[in-house]
């Protein structure tokens, strides 16, 4: 048995043992930073770990000065250096000489090359991008069947409105199966043509986690797809190749669902506004006509125009009666849908005209009959009353000369 004279001697022996070791005097290792502090003198003290083990490290300021990035906790790094025994603390630690982000160099280089090649080929061209469908009746989604992404999308759609139909193509969103399965999903929808828009989505993750979407086959499938594709990979700052090829890039899966529904909401508002504009327009039209006629009618000196005006007033009343029919159909529809515009519609409804004893005569063409002169014996006419309608045949006509002027 060896007998060390002192603790210092033991420690010194360990130091020289490490220095003499072929493996421990010059090596590299990769791990995740789990603690990181920089001392007042500028030296970095940190630990790197994997799921089972931890290694304390020190990097002196003169080496740290050459590191091109700011190390942060959770970052995966590859360090080179040697093992050292810190005698005052009785602690084994790694003395780090160089540090780089693990794998990132290579992946980023791959990404840049692919980006430049596809960009030159025109896969990212804005003029190739398709607009989203006006009315997305069916939404295709390519993402993982498990996890939050699909439920976030479905629940966002549900929150916006209940009228949607969604078809999920389950695909891996990470690892080696990701590129082929995502590609297959996009191609599936493109071949089946069974959706109006496609969302390709994945939740947030590390650079490496999202790297599957920097893939040429995915990019080409999206480019060749005849159906508009929305990409939603990771979070706001994350960009992958698919985001440049897609017709629209959404910041998150939830944002993608909202984009799809925004188009729907726009349409709903447009139809509602047009229906309202139609009512307003026809009312303004009739009011304007009526005002002109009232003016003539009140002017007793102008006999001929007065006759004309009276006749036209009857036409207006007939017209309003017929409008009433159209209005009532509309009111019934709106009622059944519990719309709140009911009150407004009824306020402009020119009812009671028929109830006052007027009736409305229509010709074979369905148009209002405005003149006896336009009818002849044998013509079939329709008569609309307050409580129903009747059909009749003209047996005779008489013609009032004064009123025809």
> Minimum distance between the CB of residue 156 and other proteins, rounded to whole angstroms?
5
d(CA 149, CA 195): 19
135 binds other proteins (CB under 8 A): yes
Residue 259 binds other proteins (CB under 8 A): no
Q: Tell me the C-alpha distance between 117 and 111, whole Å.
A: 10
d(CA 397, CA 405): 18
Binding mask 150-169 for other proteins (x = CB under 8 A): xxx-xxx-xx--xxxxxxxx
Nearer to other proteins, 216 or 279 (CB): 279
Task: Report which of 314, 291, 102, 73 is spatially closest to residue 211, judged by C-alpha positions.
Answer: 102
Q: Which is nearer to other proteins, 37 or 146 (CB)?
A: 146
Name the minimum Å distance from CB 291 to other proteins.
12
Decide: residue 11, CB within 10 A, 0-12 exposed, 13-18 middle, 19+ buried. middle
279 contacts 298 by C-beta, under 8 angstroms: no
Task: Specify the stretch interacting with other proteins by CB under 8 A; choose among 26-34, 204-212, 279-287, 347-355.
Answer: 279-287
CB of 393 to other proteins, least distance (A): 23
Q: Which stretch binds other proteins (CB under 8 A): 22-30, 215-223, 261-269, 302-310?
A: 261-269
Rounded Cα distance between 123 and 220, Å, is 8
For other proteins, which stretch binds (CB under 8 A), given 72-80, 117-125, 147-155, 381-389?
Answer: 147-155
Query: Could you tell me the smallest distance in angstroms from the CB atom of residue 119 to other proteins?
Result: 32
138 binds other proteins (CB under 8 A): yes
CA separation for the pair 214, 51 (Å, rounded) = 27
| List of residues 6+ apart from 223 with CB closer than 8 A | 123, 128, 245
Q: Which is nearer to other proteins, 83 or 369 (CB)?
A: 369
Q: Least distance in Å: CB of 158 to other proteins?
A: 7
CB 150 within 8 A of CB 200: no
Please compute, for residue 77, the number of CA atoms within 13 A of its CA located in the half-sphere on the CB side: 26
Place of tokens 């000369």: 401
CB of 367 to other proteins, least distance (A): 6
Show the binding pattern over residues 49-78: x = contacts other proteins (CB under 8 A), - = does not: ------------------------------
CA-based end-to-end distance of the chain: 139
**Looking only at residues 12 through 31 of this chain, which bind other proteins when binding is defined by CB under 8 A?**
none
What is the closest distance, in whole angstroms, from the C-beta atom of residue 392 to other proteins in the complex? 21
Which member of 264, 309, 353, 384 binds other proteins (CB under 8 A)?
264
Nearer to other proteins, 281 or 390 (CB): 281
The torsion defined by the Cα of 286, 287, 289 and 291, in degrees rounded to 10, comes to: 160
**What is the smallest separation between the CB atom of 151 and other proteins, expressed in angstroms?**
5
Binding to other proteins in span 164-193, by CB under 8 A: 164-170, 188
Rounded to whole angstroms, how far apart are CA atoms 20 and 150?
56
Q: CB within 8 A of 170, min separation 6: which ones?
A: 143, 144, 145
E strands, 54-121, where? 54-59, 76-86, 91-101
Member of 15, 235, 289, 344 binding other proteins (CB under 8 A): 289
- Chain positions contacting other proteins, by CB under 8 A: 134-135, 137-138, 145, 150-152, 154-156, 158-159, 162-170, 188, 254, 264, 267-268, 270-272, 274-275, 277-278, 281-282, 284-286, 288-289, 312, 315-316, 319, 322-323, 326-327, 329-330, 333, 367-368
């Amino acid at each position: 048995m060896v007998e060390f004279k002192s603790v210092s001697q033991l420690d010194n022996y360990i130091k020289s043992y490490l220095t003499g070791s072929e493996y421990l005097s010059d090596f590299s290792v990769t791990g995740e930073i789990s603690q990181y502090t920089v001392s007042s003198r500028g030296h970095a003290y940190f630990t790197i770990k994997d799921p089972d083990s931890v290694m304390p490290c020190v990097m002196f300021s003169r080496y740290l000065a050459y590191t091109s990035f700011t190390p942060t906790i959770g970052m995966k790094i590859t360090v080179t250096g040697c093992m050292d025994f810190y005698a005052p603390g009785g602690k084994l630690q790694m003395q780090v000489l160089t540090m780089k982000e693990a794998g990132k160099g290579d992946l980023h280089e791959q990404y840049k090359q692919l980006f430049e090649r596809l960009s030159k080929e025109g896969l990212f061209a804005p003029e190739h991008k398709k607009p989203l469908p006006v009315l997305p009746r069916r939404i295709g989604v390519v993402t993982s069947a498990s996890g939050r992404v699909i439920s976030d999308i479905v629940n966002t759609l549900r929150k916006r409105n209940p009228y949607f139909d969604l078809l999920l193509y389950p695909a891996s969103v990470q690892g080696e199966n990701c590129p082929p399965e995502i590609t297959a999903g996009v191609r599936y929808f493109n071949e089946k043509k069974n959706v109006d828009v496609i969302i390709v989505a994945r939740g947030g993750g590390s650079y490496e986690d999202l790297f599957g979407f920097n893939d040429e086959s995915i990019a080409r499938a999206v480019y060749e797809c005849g159906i508009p594709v929305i990409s939603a990979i990771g979070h706001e700052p994350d960009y992958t190749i698919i985001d440049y090829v897609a017709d629209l890039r959404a910041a998150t899966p939830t944002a993608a669902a909202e984009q799809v529904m925004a188009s729907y909401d726009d349409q709903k508002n447009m139809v509602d506004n047009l229906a309202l504009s139609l009512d307003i327009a026809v009312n303004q039209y009739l009011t304007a006509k009526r005002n002109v006629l009232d003016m003539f009618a009140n002017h007793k000196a102008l006999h001929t125009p007065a006759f004309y005006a009276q006749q036209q007033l009857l036409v207006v009343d007939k017209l309003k009666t017929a409008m009433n029919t159209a209005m009532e159909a509309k009111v019934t529809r709106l009622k059944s849908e519990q719309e709140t515009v009911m009150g407004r519609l009824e306020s402009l409804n020119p009812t009671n005209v028929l109830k006052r004893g007027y009736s409305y005569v229509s010709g074979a063409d369905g148009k209002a009959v405005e003149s006896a002169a336009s009818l002849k014996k044998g013509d079939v006419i329709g008569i609309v009353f307050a409580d129903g309608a009747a059909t009749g045949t003209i047996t005779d006509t008489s013609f009032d000369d004064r009123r025809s002027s």
